[in-house]
Amino acid sequence: MDDESLSTILKAASDPTRRAILTLLAQQGPLRVTDIHSRFDMSLNSVSKHIKALERAGLVKRRTEWREHLIEVDMGPLSLIDAWFAELRSIWELRLEALDGILSKEDPEDDRPEPDRRTRHRRRA
Amino acid sequence: MDDESLSTILKAASDPTRRAILTLLAQQGPLRVTDIHSRFDMSLNSVSKHIKALERAGLVKRRTEWREHLIEVDMGPLSLIDAWFAELRSIWELRLEALDGILSKEDPEDDRPEPDRRTRHRRRA
DNA sequence: CATTCGTTCAACCATATAGGTGAATAATAT
DNA sequence: ATATTATTCACCTATATGGTTGAACGAATG
């Protein structure tokens, strides 16, 4: 549905460091920014930025207790991606079924322009 | 498994135009670059680049017949993403189960540093 | 042969982002 | 009050990417 948040989520997940952070959080549970930083050979600032990217995508949630910011993974948005994949797959399968049904009936030329190989020059609407 | 190709796939899928191209291909079947271009308000060159990005990610395959390049969607790589999600989820659930098991047994302090709220200064290894 | 069509390649610009450093803020400990 | 710890904010640089335009290439038509 929401195309923009889908982009944000996928883009956030497309970075190896961010995926590693997600994995770390999944197996270790809520951690502080500093704890996460200690696992990576990278400046604390960069880690903080990555976390903010994950936060923007909704893949992690921040729970601020006293002076520590606990970061925990949120599996929710992943289902959005699942849903998109499922939709794409179903569209694809629907087309195949429809193709099956048409195979012997309609004039195939005006439905989808099936390339008529090695005839004279292709013109299409 | 292959972290780099996972990044490539997710990044390719993170662009709205590219997702639209995938959807179009899923419902229309194999199309030429020009056909795809006609659906978007964008230069042919840009469309060509997007297609190459999708190709690099393995999300579409190119079938060159005579002088036309037929582009068709390939659902294969999507399973790679599915697999990663599933792995992440299972790691997460495993931790929860383990937490359940430990609840009353071990010294909780050296397993995962559970923040001991408002005690004296935190020091960690 | 010259022309047209489908596609890619090359150069270019604007913008976004990953990474860094250093200062600022907030809260606790001494 | 001062020092220490945790986090963020602001700024800078390099690189990647989306988009453009224009030229080049290969194949089929006339």
Which residues are bridge partners to B26 per DSSP?
Answer: none
Determine the distance between A45 (CA) and D1 (C1') in angstroms: 29
Mind telling me how many Å the CA of B83 is from chain A's nearest CA?
11
Residue B115 pLDDT: 43
B117 touches strand C (CB under 7 A): no
Domain covering A3-76 assigned CATH 3.30.365.10 in the classification: no
Complex ipTM > 0.85: no
Task: Decide if pLDDT at A119 tops 50.
Answer: no
pLDDT greater at residue A101 or residue A11 = A11
What residue spans define the domains of chain A? Answer: 3-76
* Chain position carrying tokens 């930083």: A37
What residues contact B75, with CB distance under 8 A and at least 6 apart? A88, A89, A92
> Tens digit of pLDDT for each residue in B7-58?
999 999 999 999 999 999 999 989 999 999 999 999 999 999 999 999 999 9
Residue A10: is its pLDDT beyond 90? yes
- Which of A10, A26, A29 has its CB closest to that of B10? A10
Q: Residue A108: is its pLDDT beyond 50?
A: no
Task: Give the H or E element holding residue B106.
Answer: none
Interval A42-69: pLDDT, tens: 999 999 999 999 999 999 998 877 667 7
For strand C, the positions having any atom within 7 A of a protein Cβ are: 5-10, 17-22, 26-30
Structure confidence by residue, pLDDT tens digits, B99-118: 777 665 654 444 444 444 33
CATH number for region B1-106:
1.10.10.10
For residues B115 and B44, the answer to whether their CB atoms sit within 8 Å is no
From chain B, pick out residues whose CB is under 8 angstroms from the CB of A3.
Answer: 16, 19
Helix (H) or strand (E) holding A53: helix A44-56
Sequence-separated (6 or more) residues with CB below 8 Å from residue B69: B32, B33, B62, B63
Q: Do B88 and A66 touch (CB under 8 A)?
A: no
What pLDDT, in 10s, does the model give residues B44-72? 999 999 999 999 999 999 987 666 789 99
| A33 has pLDDT over 70 | yes
- As to burial, measured by CB atoms within 10 angstroms (0-12 exposed, 13-18 middle, 19+ buried), residue A45 is exposed
Report d(CA A11, CA A54) in Å as an integer. Answer: 9
Question: Please, which residues 66-125 of chain A have a Cβ atom closer than 8 Å to chain B?
Answer: 66, 68, 70, 73, 75, 78, 81-82, 84-85, 88-89, 91-92, 94-95, 99, 112-113, 115, 117-118, 122, 124
- Tokens in use for B95? 């931790």
Nucleic strand C near CB of residue B68 (< 7 Å): yes
- pLDDT greater than 60 at residue B77: yes
Distance CA B29, CA B20 (A): 13
pLDDT for A95 equals 87
State the Cα–Cα distance between residues A74 and A55, nearest whole angstrom: 9
